[in-house]
Amino acid sequence: MNFIWSDFGVLDRCSYDQRGYLLVHNTDNDSRAMSTTYSSVFNPIEHKCQLLKGKSVQIRTSQNTGTWSPQDWFSDISLSGTEVNLSAPSKLSIENSDELHEKINNLIQERDQANARVGELFDRENELLDQVKEVTRQANLASFSEYFESQRADILEKKMVDLKSENVSMAMTIEKLLAGGETSYCEFKESLSLNVRNSEQKDFKPVKDKGIEKACLKNVIAFLNTDGGTILVGVEDENCTVSGTENEIKKLFKTKDDFRQYVDNLITHRIGEGFLPNIKISYPEIDHTEVLRINVKRSANTPAFLKPEEAFYTRVSASTRELKNKHLADYILARFK
């Protein structure tokens, strides 16, 4: 039998129909079925679906299915972008859960390494900007005019190469951020200021929810005080579904520019100008849907507090925790030497 693997989108759930067939569903409301002929592998497939929920997946289909279309059925499922066995018989060689666990762990490690690389690129960008400033200072001296012209082009070219590398790195890791879910280095937020649930009510009045904003900003503080990380705004944290920022902009802001200016002011006023070199804000598109991405680099020497309450947060696993009193003092002494 001739098998192929193809992308199936983001896995939403699995279920059974009236015939007893096992079905897998993606977030685009598409589904594939596995007949009772393969009931011996239903349990391992269900377990794999639990591990893969909310992640981009690929499925195995056959080109020799009789009256069934290859768009109707599947015989195995795995994580998108990973190596699979192209010659495996349908029922005799299902990828096991241990192999899938290893793939997911490898994906998370790759994503965390990419986040660390973004931090290194922040440092490199600041170094290059300092070099540009120094060259400009020298250019103010008439005797250095020729030196300035030759060196400025070289330094600016290097800066553009580094910035291009940073943009490529950030774009390549978006899918990995979504596939890996929330970790100690990654947090998803459905919105920045909009109470999404209340906004669906008929009597909803456009108002920026300060509690929603705090829930987002405290993660910036936590990443500054721990080991850095990434926040994606416009992604539902339960199933990693990309909702984007368009609905929030439509209900609370006039234009995208108004939203972006509000983001800049919010971070400046609630976190402080001193930490702006550690924070990189961008607005990438995922499947033509724009999200807000906040990359945060670890603060080397200065603890960060959320204003005006001066609350202190750290990142522990996939959660953010507030420290107070003795725990706060002990942590600052140990972390910011």
Average pLDDT over residues 50-79: 80
Residues 160 and 198 occupy one common structural domain: no
Given a cut of 80, is residue 276 above it in pLDDT?
yes
Domain range for 43: 3-82
pLDDT of residue 148: 57
Residues 210 and 260 occupy one common structural domain: yes
Flag whether 191 is in a domain.
yes
Least confidently predicted of 124-128, 196-200, 257-261: 124-128
CA 275, CA 183: separation in Å to the nearest integer? 23
> Per residue in 288-320, pLDDT tens?
899 999 999 999 889 999 999 999 999 998 899
pLDDT, greater one: 167 or 4: 4
Whether a cis peptide bond, with omega within 30° of 0, leads into 70 is no
Given a cut of 90, is residue 156 above it in pLDDT?
no
Residues 165 and 193 occupy one common structural domain: no
pLDDT, greater one: 112 or 209: 209
249: Cβ–Cβ under 8 A, 6 or more apart, which residues?
Answer: 255, 256, 258, 259
pLDDT of residue 101: 82
Residues 257 and 269 occupy one common structural domain: yes
pLDDT of residue 118: 74
pLDDT of residue 164: 44
pLDDT of residue 23: 95
Q: Are strands 22-26 and 3-16 parallel, antiparallel or unpaired?
A: antiparallel
Residues 280 and 320 occupy one common structural domain: yes
Please report how the helices 256-271 and 210-225 are oriented relative to each other, as an axis angle in degrees rounded to 10. Answer: 60
Q: How many CB atoms are closer than 10 A to CB 145?
A: 11
Residues 21 and 34 occupy one common structural domain: yes
pLDDT of residue 153: 62
**Number of domains the chain contains:** 3
For residue 145, name the pLDDT band (cuts at 50, 70, 90).
low
CATH number of domain containing 74:
2.40.50.50
- Give me the percent of the chain exceeding a pLDDT of 70: 83
Average pLDDT over residues 151-179: 58
Flag whether 88 is in a domain.
no
* Mean of the per-residue pLDDT values of the chain: 84
> Per residue in 116-139, pLDDT tens?
777 777 777 777 777 777 766 665
Q: What is the DSSP letter of 128?
A: H
pLDDT of residue 273: 93
pLDDT of residue 171: 42
pLDDT, greater one: 82 or 278: 278
Residues 101 and 70 occupy one common structural domain: no
175 CB-contact burial (10 Å; exposed 0-12 / middle 13-18 / buried 19+): middle
Please give the full DSSP string across 30-60, using - where no structure is assigned: -EEEE-GGGGGGHHHHHHHHHHHTTSEEEEE
Residue at a domain's end among 47, 82, 117: 82
Given a cut of 90, is residue 147 above it in pLDDT?
no
Residue at a domain's end among 82, 114, 144: 82
Residue at a domain's end among 33, 59, 82: 82
Residues 318 and 234 occupy one common structural domain: yes
CA 105, CA 298: separation in Å to the nearest integer? 23
Residues 215 and 301 occupy one common structural domain: yes
Q: Length of the chain in residues, anyone?
A: 337
Flag whether 214 is in a domain.
yes
